[in-house]
Structure 1
Amino acid sequence: MTVEKGGRRRWLWGGLLAFAVLFAVVAATAWWVYVRPLPLAASSLEVEVPRGASALEAGRHLARQGVGVEPYAFYLLARFSRGGPIIAGYYRVEHGLTMSALLDLLRRGERILETITIVEGWTLAQMRSAIDRHPWVEKTLVGVDEQTLLSAIGAEEALPEGLFFPDTYVFDRKTTDLVLYRMAYRKMQEELLAAWQARDPELPLASPYELLILASIIEKETGRSDERGKVASVFVNRLRRNMPLQTDPTVIYGMGDSFEGKLLRRHLREDHSYNTYTRGGLPPSPICLPGRESLWAAARPEKTDFFYFVARGDGSSEFSRTLEEHNRAVARWRRGRSAP
């Protein structure tokens, strides 16, 4: 009887001891995973999780980059905890982050994102320069010719100028330039189609591409939102009467690198495909990257009887109905006077 009671007592104490040990292990593990801040090589680190890395490989990469995580423990946590896969990219790891919080961060994909702004009115050459200079864009198309670029983005147009929508684009570090060009091209296709579908049914344009060409001219002619519709009306009125557009920006674009900053009368007489003084209709391609406002101004110009306009010198323009009115306006503003 005494032996039996002693055995039960030892069994009870042994069970309690095992439970205490298990509890201590679980508590220590929970503290280590959920409470203990990870040691970092600096108060804030930018780390990379490569594409295709498993949880164990991700843990090893993090450890090599200064995050005090034990790779195999990180793998076990990822393996036996609920949640989605780890998302590749660059992350900012701050002091005080636990291993569990780090795993959640990687699963949510809260990566460091970069931006690039393509400015309305830029030419394709300016856009390419900005992309080529961006430190976090992976370069695959630097220096390729226009046809190679068009083929890479899947464009059917003959010339690439004007095909990319000016906007601020957000992307992961090490995104390729090809991805950015495709994003901007598809965005322009969407914006152009929307403007074309909502166009004035009497618009003297045969295709969305012609609307894009006209929008690019409007973009270069004025930076004022309140005047884009009037500028568009001048060019549309001229197209309806088969009058040459006579717009300086097309001439300058056609001159390319030979333009030295000042447009002279002799330049207006030098015939080339972009000289809208010597040739009728629209030029063969856009001359810049037009923004949304210019696209919609081209699609739905104001209803006016203006055929001419001249810059006042303050960013605004004076619009005229007749050549006689226009000549007086030109003389007035060239003399620097604001009144007749």
Structure 2
Amino acid sequence: MPDRPHPGAMVWAITCTGGSAMSRRIKAIVITAVLTVTFLGMLREHQNTLLAPIQRWLQQPGLAEQEKATALRPLIACLNAVDSRWRHAYSHYLKRGRPVDPTLKARFPEDFEPMVSVREGLDYPSVHAAYGCRLNTAQKDNLQKSAPELLPLQNRFEAMLTAANEAAGSFDFFSPKPLYSVSPADKAERDALFIPLVNDYLDASDQLRRALDTQDQALRQVQLEQLKTRDQLKYAHILTYMLEARTLMLKLDERVREQRFSANDLSGATLALQQAWDDGSQYLQAHPATSNADYPETIWNYVRLPGKHYLDAVNTLRDDWAAKAPPQQLSDDYERIGRRYDQLIEVYNDRVNPLF
């Protein structure tokens, strides 16, 4: 179908005023918090078989992986707690005054439940949140030592975020709903100054995220191998599944960003993710928990439902594409995939964060 409009083109056209499709992803790298920190420090008392070998590993002198994980931690915290929420607020700002698709509630009723708006209000950023992305001298020294190529990207990101944040603080940007009316002419004048600042910030954020992901690759492999060699295969299966979920989302984002999304990206997109889930499920069923303190089962059970929703969202886009659905519906489907991914990562991080 070479002449058929595709979701990449649709999403690109809809979001081009606010940055690339990747800029619309709210938590595309939030999983890094777990990948670079949690599985390096999984030290709960009930995991005695894991405690000793990890302690010996972490106490090895000059362990580059541990030093890098420590250096990346403040960047990860910034992207998770500040950058992702700022992006979400900007997405809401761009939609102000736009007509709402009347079919959305019928197609995605779960997005209109009462608690959704409550959670949104609690997660909305404030003008002061950006201070959480300012590294102190010691943190910058650690970054210079372990990942020097990230330091200029972090410095640029910090400067661009500060500029956009200061501009946003001059009006009601940090409110989920407009606090006062503004004429179209005044809004256009405001946006002419504000949106270029945000685009610079989003570009800096995208560059930092991609570079941070590159740094994370080696750490992930170390963690997986360490879990496997210590016979912590339940955790290894969980980590493998989450990596596949993340790989799928990044692949789709990349195709959309480059405006070369095609049916081939959907035909086999879910196979690796489904296989990782099936392998993990079979292993956990074959090795049931021996007590209520068996934490891998807890994590697995919590990610089960959001994981299903994520996979269902990808399949929905695949089916709507095959049915030649309207362009706006395909764009909505793609946005839904990203939202379901965000929810999966958020639930996963909530379960794993107590481990470090």
Q: Which has the larger radius of gyration?
A: 1
The structure richer in strand per residue is 1
The structure richer in helix per residue is 2
TM-based fold match above 0.5: no
TM-score by length of 1: 0.21
Relative contact order, higher structure (CA 8 A, sep 6+): 2
